[in-house]
Amino acid sequence: MLSAIKVIAVDAMGGDFGPKVTIPSALRALKQFDDLQIVLVGQQSVIDRYLKKLLPNGHPRLSIRHASETVAMDEPPAQALRTKKDSSMRVAINLVKFNEAHACVSAGNTGALMATARFVLKTLPGIDRPAIMSVMPRIDGGVTRMLDLGANVDSTSEHLLQFSVMGTVLAKALSAISLPKVALLNVGTEQIKGNENVKKAAEFLQQCKDIHYVGYAEGGDALIGQFDVIVTDGFTGNIALKAMEGAAKTFKHFMIRGFSRNWLTKLVYLLISPIMLSIKKEVDPDHYNGASLLGLNGIVIKSHGGAKVLGFYNAIKEAYYELDKHVIELLTSEMSKIFTSQQG
């Protein structure tokens, strides 16, 4: 069914806010992209109710696919996979499997989304495990792509090599970087540091001519601007991500407390509020929302569960751009080259 039109299935019921956020975001994306078609997946009556408020006459590039069930945000992934076969999440992924959609976007339960997508879509040739990849804003104005952020608690050195290939392909395609700088997350930048798994992965990367491996990165380097791709296992990656999110919340708390002390500090805040708003916009997580579930035989984008309209819209945009840049085809080609060179 591949055509010039890009069809994205949206899990309309997923996330903390469901249709209240997913539907306005979908309409915003349709307004932005003339070659986009969206299928809203979920309970027909609920979706219809929201649509009538926002778009009484409907939209020629918007359709609805009924799904009778939803996956709770705290539902065990195995249970969702086994018992929720008509959930909005499962139906949206099925649309990708059967070529009725080219990509899927969901703000639902991360574990359930990964488990269901992997079961339904399988992985691309040469990729053992999918990985979650997201972008971090850098102080130089660019972004660092980091993976894995939680899909795999344990990863072998071979898996880290595969993650490096996937991160390189995305950086080339979406950031137009001809030679992305790839680093392995480690406890230090010295070559003698790290466990055997990381050291072995470094050896693989040094031998891989298709990857511009530049060495080890430390935890804070994702935001500094030295690297385009940082690779790690899902256990460490998720901890690093949550630590950065916690640091941002802590900084925000102390800023608010500091400017609220007395009338003078409040006056200072009023004077510098345009600068503060500009900084907030640059680091706002909604601007970088939309994590790729890389390595699957289909494009699946995970939105943060608490994303508002702007954030979910950006997750849809991520799916659109990955389709526009033919990311699945590029990944398949690159993995084939790596596999062939290793066999040789």
| Mean pLDDT taken over the chain | 89
DSSP state of 191: T
Q: Structural domain of residue 142, as residue ranges?
A: 128-288
pLDDT of residue 24: 96
Is it the case that residue 69 has pLDDT exceeding 50? Answer: yes
Is it the case that residue 251 has pLDDT exceeding 80? Answer: no
The answer as to whether 19 is a domain residue is yes
Same-domain check for residues 199 and 151: yes
Same-domain check for residues 302 and 199: no
Is residue 334 classed as helix, strand or coil in its secondary structure? helix
Rounded average pLDDT over 208-215: 90
Cα 265 to chain centroid, rounded: 38
Is it the case that residue 28 has pLDDT exceeding 70? Answer: yes
pLDDT digits (tens, 9 = 90+) for 280-309: 666 666 777 899 999 999 999 999 999 999
pLDDT of residue 139: 83
**CATH code of residue 1:** 3.40.718.10
d(CA 146, CA 229): 6
Nearest partner of 299 among 117, 129, 111, judged by Cα: 117
Q: How far is the CA of 78 from the CAs of 113, 295, 323, in angstroms?
A: 11, 20, 29
Is it the case that residue 80 has pLDDT exceeding 80? Answer: yes
Same-domain check for residues 169 and 259: yes
Work out how many domains the chain is built from and give that number.
2
pLDDT of residue 1: 41
Same-domain check for residues 95 and 202: no
Same-domain check for residues 71 and 19: yes
pLDDT of residue 282: 65
The answer as to whether 160 is a domain residue is yes
